[in-house]
């Protein structure tokens, strides 16, 4: 089973969505993980809502610090934002480092529905990248 770690700054939106998509689409061939360089306290509720619209439940995923994974053998480390790429620690056991750059939906402003426009956009971009990865 290939172990993939998705990494972003807060581990509350983008990396959580990527973890959920790979778990859903990977057909049991992947161990899908996510972490943040400065993890938030909880998964962003609008990320959970956006993924529920795709029938993927990420509500039980919790933000984790990247340090938890430093000594683990990881096949692929995928950074999903430029901040994580720049502050990503060295994973000496990783076979590959993949860099994706997505806008942070947590920065969205306005009403919940206005914020959901950005969450859906980023969710759909991540979904396409995961399908390409597979």
Q: Is 13 a catalytic residue?
A: no
Catalytic residue (one of 47, 50, 81, 106): 81
Catalytic residue (one of 24, 38, 40, 88): 88
Q: What is the pTM of this model?
A: 0.94
**Distance (Å) of CA 57 to CA 51, 101, 131:** 6, 23, 18
What domains sit in the chain, N to C, each tagged with a CATH number? 2-133 (3.40.50.2300)
Name every residue whose Cβ is closer than 8 Å to that of residue 86 and which is 6 or more positions away in sequence. Answer: none
Catalytic residue (one of 4, 8, 78, 108): 8
3-class DSSP state for residue 98?
strand
pLDDT of res. 85: 57
| Residue 72 pLDDT level (bands cut at 50, 70, 90) | confident
C-alpha to C-alpha distance for 71 and 46, rounded to whole angstroms: 32
More confident residue, 71 or 22: 22
**pLDDT above 70 for 86:** no
Query: With 0-12 CB in 10 A as exposed, 13-18 as middle and 19+ as buried, what is 14?
Result: buried
N- to C-terminal Cα separation, the chain: 13
């Amino acid at each position: 089973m290939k172990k993939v770690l998705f990494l972003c700054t807060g581990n509350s939106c983008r990396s959580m969505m990527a973890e959920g998509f790979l778990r859903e689409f990977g057909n049991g061939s992947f161990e899908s993980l996510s972490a943040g360089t400065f993890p938030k306290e909880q998964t962003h509720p609008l990320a959970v809502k956006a993924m529920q619209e795709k029938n993927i439940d990420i509500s039980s995923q919790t933000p984790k610090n990247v340090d938890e994974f430093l000594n683990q053998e990881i096949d692929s480390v995928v950074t999903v934002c430029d901040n994580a790429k720049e502050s990503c620690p060295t994973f000496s056991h990783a076979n590959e480092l993949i860099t994706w750059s997505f806008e942070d939906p947590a920065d969205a402003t306005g009403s919940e529905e206005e914020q959901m426009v950005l969450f859906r956009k980023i969710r759909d971009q991540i979904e396409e990248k995961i399908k390409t990865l597979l």
